[in-house]
Chains A and B, each alone.
Chain A
Amino acid sequence: MRTWITPGRLAGLSALAAAGLGLAMLTYGQGEPPTDEPSAESTARDADKQSIDSPLAAVYFAQQAFSANIKLAGPLVGIGTDRDWACGTCHGHGAQGAENVPRLAGQPAGYITKQLHDYASGRRQNDNMRYIAQGLSAEEMAALGQFYSSMNTSSTASPRLNGDLERGRELALQGDWNLDVPACFTCHGSSAWGVGQGFPALAGQHPSYLYTQLAGWEAGRRSNSPGRLMHSVASALSDDDMRSVADFMATLPAPPARQSTRLETPAPERLTTSAQADSQGGSDEHE
């Protein structure tokens, strides 16, 4: 007598069932946004957003960076401390960065210093950088700002994201005014080497990193841009546009070392909200 259930049919049916279950779980996981953040921490972050730094924080921190003792930076960059690994471990000894680790060479001193404060306070989210930054004193952050801004390293970036370089160039040079997106160059400078202390260089930056930041602004993972300017821009860009503009920046020559240690625009006497005060669990050495 022929039996209904043959080993072959059994195997086929279970495979089908498994596939169905797998697919269902896959989409179920994607349908729900990840909710791995404890609510207490998100509340703390919301409070941070309310009291977000003065838009002039970078100029304020540049003042500290220019008067910092640059000798503090060397060991941190090259050797690390008992607690922390060296900056160069990830950012490279020319601070050239790679993939999702940003290039730092030639960035404005005030910008770098401010980012370190923002990592320490959780305003900018990244577990590695949060750990590192919380181990740094305000003076060390300032010294690192000065150190990296005065580095001269040629670009090691190249387009990696399969972006449309022509579209990237259009966004960089003209913007897309139908979307209220001004040209990148109107704020980041005529060579995208950055402007003043608040606007970082984009030229020669790694596409994966730039893309991740744009996506982070759109999703609210990064919310520390002055006046929420980047939030507005990133929210208007499509995924394709983000890849295109990130790839285009990788085709440009990287910024040179910054020679000047003089502020070109006045700094606020103090910040409207003290970054040091909000820096949860930061080092005691913060002034």
Chain B
Amino acid sequence: MSDHQTSQMHRSTRRRLAYASVGAVGLFIVGALVADYDLLPYVTGPAPQTTEAERSAQIARAARTQLDEQRQAWQEDLSAGPPELPVGPKGYYQPPLKEDIPDDEFGDAVTRGREIFVNTGTNAGEFVGNDLACANCHLNAGRRPNSAPMWAAITNYPAYRGKNEMINTIEDRVNGCFTYSMNAPGSPSGGPPPQGHQVYKDLESYFSWLADGNALREDVPGRGYPSLEEPEQDYDRDRGEQVFADNCAVCHGLNGQGQKDLNGRYIFPPLWGPNSYNWGAGMHRVNTAAGFIKANMPLGRPDSLSNQQAWDVAAYINSFPRPADPRQVDEDLDLDEAKEAYHQHQDYYGETRNGATLGKGASPQS
């Protein structure tokens, strides 16, 4: 190998080194630009993004799968311990998903129960004396936390209730819903479903299925409606009128009578008058309605009203005529007697508003 050749090789090595350095600097600049301006998605395509909806659905699914696995493990080996409460994306108990309804007779009852719950007027119309459905007050078909979800109700019966001073089974409780909230005395059959009726069996099947995996007799978070603190100023129906016009009337109408769609179906339920819940329903109590409203209304904008607004608008809604309290009618009480016996709470029973005595019962003309 000659000197000439060696020096040429050295030159060539240096040249290559120089090229490599320039190349490296170039690559570095390109890389820095890519990083600086977040260009990677343009090179690799957008990274698959998980939406919040998908993440929530995955958490719900995972909670139910974990329950199944832990149950199985416990079956096989006692030392594995009992399953944990399945918890959904917002930290509340996670009921089973629609696709989990079993494909058998029980599953059929669950499905029927759900249909009755959502379209009560069409599927149990014989016992419905107004234009409401169970799902109007128990949102998302009885699944929504803080909207008196059925998965928290059924696990707390049988129970003693002061309302009727006896032990109530879940059937007794649902009987009460029909009697008061669904105003069964005004229904075609004139009353709630008779004892042991299939309507109860289907509804109870649905509730029981929803509560599959929930703790028994536990005051789980999300049960019932939230109890609101008493408002700073006392609740006031006149202040509530403005809250109603601003937030509620677009759906329920300025006259509170709800709205139907072109098919004649009620889309927004009537809140007072002859086609709403009667004076025996829990919702006629200002505190109960305020809790429901605060946590759930307007639809899609929960917790957008202040405490005070929720109380005021609940007072406004519950200061109009509505169907009579069936206990007052059945026991042949006058309003004062009925007020004394059944209305020692936050309501407008027996008071006079706009010339009408509340509690007498709204006739279809009023």
- Using A226-B250, A229-B298, A241-B53 as known contacts, say yes or no to A190 and B89 having CB atoms under 8 A apart: no
User: Within 8 Å of chain A (Cβ to Cβ): is B268?
Assistant: yes
Q: Which residue of B lies closest to A55 (CB)?
A: B250
Interface 9-residue window, one of A22-30, A34-42, A84-92, A117-125: A22-30
User: In residues 168-206 of chain A, which contact B (Cβ within 8 Å)?
Assistant: 174-182, 186-187, 189-191, 193-196, 198
Residues of A within 8 A of B60 (CB): 178
Q: Which residue of A lies closest to B41 (CB)?
A: A27
Q: Across the interface, do A56 and B260 meet the contact criterion of CB distance under 8 Å? A: no
Q: Across the interface, do A177 and B144 meet the contact criterion of CB distance under 8 Å? A: yes
Interface 9-residue window, one of B31-39, B105-113, B196-204, B344-352: B31-39
Q: Across the interface, do A190 and B33 meet the contact criterion of CB distance under 8 Å? A: no
CB distance from A264 to the nearest CB of B (A): 7
- Using A178-B60, A195-B259 as known contacts, say yes or no to A187 and B251 having CB atoms under 8 A apart: yes
Residues of B within 8 A of A187 (CB): 251, 267-268, 299
Q: Across the interface, do B300 and A268 meet the contact criterion of CB distance under 8 Å? A: no
Residues of B within 8 A of A31 (CB): 37-38
Q: Across the interface, do A266 and B90 meet the contact criterion of CB distance under 8 Å? A: no
Q: Across the interface, do A55 and B262 meet the contact criterion of CB distance under 8 Å? A: no
Q: Across the interface, do A177 and B263 meet the contact criterion of CB distance under 8 Å? A: no
Residues of A within 8 A of B246 (CB): 55, 227
Residues of B within 8 A of A179 (CB): 52-53, 56
Bound state CA distance, A24 and B250, in angstroms?
Answer: 49
User: Within 8 Å of chain A (Cβ to Cβ): is B88?
Assistant: yes
- Using A55-B246, A56-B254, A187-B267 as known contacts, say yes or no to A182 and B262 having CB atoms under 8 A apart: no
CB distance from A189 to the nearest CB of B (A): 3
Q: Which residue of B lies closest to A260 (CB)?
A: B262
Q: Across the interface, do B259 and A186 meet the contact criterion of CB distance under 8 Å? A: no
User: Within 8 Å of chain B (Cβ to Cβ): is A255?
Assistant: yes
Which residue of A26, A54, A193, A232 contacts B262 across the interface (Cβ within 8 Å)? Answer: A193
CB distance from A27 to the nearest CB of B (A): 4
Residues of B within 8 A of A229 (CB): 250, 298-301
Bound state CA distance, A189 and B140, in angstroms?
Answer: 16
- Using A179-B53, A180-B300, A186-B299 as known contacts, say yes or no to A195 and B268 having CB atoms under 8 A apart: yes
Which residue of A177, A236, A264 contacts B140 across the interface (Cβ within 8 Å)? Answer: A177
Q: Across the interface, do B299 and A238 meet the contact criterion of CB distance under 8 Å? A: no
Residues of B within 8 A of A28 (CB): 37
Q: Across the interface, do A180 and B298 meet the contact criterion of CB distance under 8 Å? A: no
Q: Which residue of A lies closest to B88 (CB)?
A: A178
CB distance from A118 to the nearest CB of B (A): 15
Bound state CA distance, A193 and B262, in angstroms?
Answer: 7
Q: Across the interface, do A23 and B37 meet the contact criterion of CB distance under 8 Å? A: yes
User: Within 8 Å of chain A (Cβ to Cβ): is B253?
Assistant: yes
Residues of A within 8 A of B140 (CB): 174-175, 177
CB distance from B283 to the nearest CB of A (A): 19
- Using A176-B53, A177-B140, A178-B89 as known contacts, say yes or no to A20 and B301 having CB atoms under 8 A apart: no
User: Within 8 Å of chain B (Cβ to Cβ): is A228?
Assistant: yes
Bound state CA distance, A237 and B56, in angstroms?
Answer: 13
Q: Across the interface, do B249 and A241 meet the contact criterion of CB distance under 8 Å? A: no
Which residue of A178, A186, A256 contacts B57 across the interface (Cβ within 8 Å)? Answer: A178
Q: Which residue of B lies closest to A255 (CB)?
A: B262
Residues of B within 8 A of A226 (CB): 250
CB distance from A2 to the nearest CB of B (A): 10
CB distance from A167 to the nearest CB of B (A): 8
User: Within 8 Å of chain B (Cβ to Cβ): is A76?
Assistant: no
User: Within 8 Å of chain B (Cβ to Cβ): is A240?
Assistant: yes
CB distance from A106 to the nearest CB of B (A): 9
A-B contact pairs, 16 of them (CB 8 A): A20-B33, A24-B37, A178-B56, A178-B90, A179-B53, A181-B300, A195-B260, A196-B259, A227-B247, A227-B250, A229-B250, A229-B299, A229-B301, A241-B53, A258-B262, A264-B260
